[in-house]
Amino acid sequence: MKKKFGVLIALVISIVFSSSTVFANGLPFEKYKEGLLSFENQDWSEAEQYFDEIILEDLSYSEYLAKSLYLKTILLAAQIDRDVELQKTFESGEKAVSFKDEELKEKLKNKANDYELAAKRKVDTLIGLANYLLANLPPLNMDIDFSNNRWDYNPEWIDTIKAGKMISEDRLNIIEKGLLGEKVKDYLDLTLGVDSFNDIFVVTAEQGDNLYYLAKKYDVSLDLLLNLNKHIENPNLIYPNEKIYIPKQSSFAINYPAYFYYVSNISYQANKERKEDITRLVFRAYQLTSEQSNIPYPKDYENFMEGIEIQDYQRKVTAQAKEIESQDKKINEMEAKYNELMKELEELKSNLDDDNNKKKNNDDLLEDSDYEDYNPAEDPLTY
């Protein structure tokens, strides 16, 4: 009996253990861990799948949901940026092709349109997810090990397209992956700030070193490097054997003002029709982040916002100018018709005056004549 009971207990424990293991694999932190690994390995489709599952299923709004939202939107922003760049590349190629080669010109044009539409579709999702993240603004620390441009490509392939030539689909796929890797790295660098560092080590400067180069070499923030090395007056001029303090970073935090700025900026570039939604997102983000963070917006934030309004104003002015031009054309046509009519009236008036003068002359001749001696047959003015 005791033996059977022991077996039953062991069976229950094994079931509970196996169930908890299966359940754990479906928890947000497990999926996020897998998604982050795929993201770091630049397996984009798999990373997106994990992040999408968390976004759809994690109703408790955990830290892993917020992190998944951030990485998903970074990936979307990078994809949009890549598509916009390739759209412009193929548009340049189309312009470079002679009008005689209609078939090639059409192929390049269609490619440009495909990238334009792809970017526009992604903007809707990006704005929606960014608003979702904006609703909470959790203070997130991100620990990402990301190597740039694992998918290498030849930049000359892009020049080939701009020169008006098509490349193979295989090469185009490599360009897409390479550009995406570069863009993701750019957006991570732009939107993540150093949260803290737990150690500092000292390096000895070599000939030709500068702080910008050292920041790249040791993968640290240039601003942080400048703050730690205030004894260096000119960051572009470091003397050999000079001591440089390098921080060992422990974590990165999302710089929300910069994040919303860059997400909005690329969204507007890709789809200006969403101007109102994008403007609303930026202003709302500014209101909230200014209360929760002392990190300022990027220096060109005002220029970006002014750019939205200026471009909108320019479109209105252009439309008004076209309308004025059309009206001027109509007025000129009416003026020309009026002048032509006046000319005809002047000619008619002139002809009438001539006829009246002739009649008057005839009457004068008759008045001065001797009617008794007048012979109509001898008058040269009569027929």
User: Are 160 and 194 in a shared domain?
Assistant: yes
Placement of tokens 């799948």 in the chain:
49
Q: What is the CA radius of gyration of the chain?
A: 39
User: Are 144 and 241 in a shared domain?
Assistant: yes
pLDDT score recorded for residue 169: 96
298, 329, 352: which is the final residue of a domain? 298
Q: Is the pLDDT of residue 171 over 70?
A: yes
User: Are 289 and 330 in a shared domain?
Assistant: no
Q: Is the pLDDT of residue 8 over 80?
A: no
pLDDT score recorded for residue 47: 96
User: Are 117 and 253 in a shared domain?
Assistant: yes
**What tens digit of pLDDT does each residue of 22-41 get?**
334 567 788 999 999 999 99
CA distance 182 to 174: 12
Of 327 and 191, the structure prediction assigns the larger pLDDT to: 191
Q: Is the pLDDT of residue 76 over 70?
A: yes
pLDDT score recorded for residue 54: 92
Lowest mean pLDDT among 93-102, 218-227, 293-302, 337-346: 293-302
Output the CA torsion 193→194→195→198 (10° steps).
Answer: 170
User: Are 96 and 31 in a shared domain?
Assistant: yes
Q: Is residue 261 part of a domain?
A: yes
Handedness of CA 82, 296, 230, 224 (dihedral sign): negative
User: Are 228 and 352 in a shared domain?
Assistant: no
As a whole number, mean pLDDT of residues 273-278 equals 91
pLDDT score recorded for residue 17: 37
**What tens digit of pLDDT does each residue of 193-226 get?**
765 555 677 888 888 888 888 888 887 777 778 8
Q: Is residue 64 part of a domain?
A: yes
Of 224 and 69, the structure prediction assigns the larger pLDDT to: 69
- pLDDT category at 155 given cuts 50, 70, 90 is very high
Q: Is residue 311 part of a domain?
A: no
SS3 326: helix
Q: Is the pLDDT of residue 380 over 70?
A: no
173 vs 19, 153, 167, 180, CA distance in Å? 42, 10, 10, 11
**What tens digit of pLDDT does each residue of 345-364 get?**
777 777 777 766 666 666 55
CA distance 217 to 199: 17
Q: Is residue 307 part of a domain?
A: no
CA distance 383 to 362: 13
Q: If we measure between CA atoms, which residue out of 258, 259, 266 comes closest to residue 120?
A: 266
If one counts every other C-beta atom within 10 angstroms of the C-beta of residue 36, the result is 22
**What tens digit of pLDDT does each residue of 88-101 get?**
999 999 999 998 89
Of 22 and 86, the structure prediction assigns the larger pLDDT to: 86
298, 325, 344: which is the final residue of a domain? 298
User: Are 351 and 256 in a shared domain?
Assistant: no
Pull the structure tokens for residue 290.
């200014």
User: Which residues on adjacent β-strands are paired with residue 196?
Assistant: 251
User: Are 361 and 286 in a shared domain?
Assistant: no
User: Are 288 and 321 in a shared domain?
Assistant: no
As a whole number, mean pLDDT of residues 99-119 equals 95
Q: Is residue 382 part of a domain?
A: no
Helix then strand count (H, E) for the chain reads 12, 3
SS3 341: helix
Q: Is residue 374 part of a domain?
A: no
User: Are 108 and 248 in a shared domain?
Assistant: yes
pLDDT score recorded for residue 2: 43
User: Are 229 and 130 in a shared domain?
Assistant: yes
CA distance 271 to 123: 7
Q: If we measure between CA atoms, which residue out of 216, 262, 263 comes closest to residue 235?
A: 216
CA distance 321 to 102: 33
- pLDDT category at 273 given cuts 50, 70, 90 is very high
Q: Is the pLDDT of residue 382 over 50?
A: no
pLDDT score recorded for residue 26: 60
pLDDT score recorded for residue 211: 84
Residues 6+ apart with CB under 8 A from 167: 157, 160, 161
Of 383 and 79, the structure prediction assigns the larger pLDDT to: 79
> CA 67 from chain center: how many Å?
23
Average pLDDT, the chain: 78
Q: Is the pTM of this model over 0.75?
A: no
Q: At what angle do helices 102-134 and 63-96 cross, to 10 degrees?
A: 160
As a whole number, mean pLDDT of residues 250-265 equals 84
Q: If we measure between CA atoms, which residue out of 146, 38, 126, 134 comes closest to residue 79?
A: 126
Q: 29, 64 in Cβ contact below 8 A?
A: yes
pLDDT score recorded for residue 12: 38
Q: Is residue 2 part of a domain?
A: no
- pLDDT category at 21 given cuts 50, 70, 90 is very low
Of 175 and 288, the structure prediction assigns the larger pLDDT to: 175
Which residues constitute the domain of residue 59? 20-298
Q: Is residue 308 part of a domain?
A: no
Q: Is the pLDDT of residue 292 over 70?
A: no
Q: Is the pLDDT of residue 102 over 80?
A: yes
How many independent structural domains does the chain possess?
Answer: 2
pLDDT score recorded for residue 377: 56
As a whole number, mean pLDDT of residues 300-309 equals 58
User: Are 291 and 331 in a shared domain?
Assistant: no
- Residue 295 phi/psi, 5-degree rounding, is -80, 120
Q: 197, 228 in Cβ contact below 8 A?
A: no
- pLDDT category at 175 given cuts 50, 70, 90 is very high
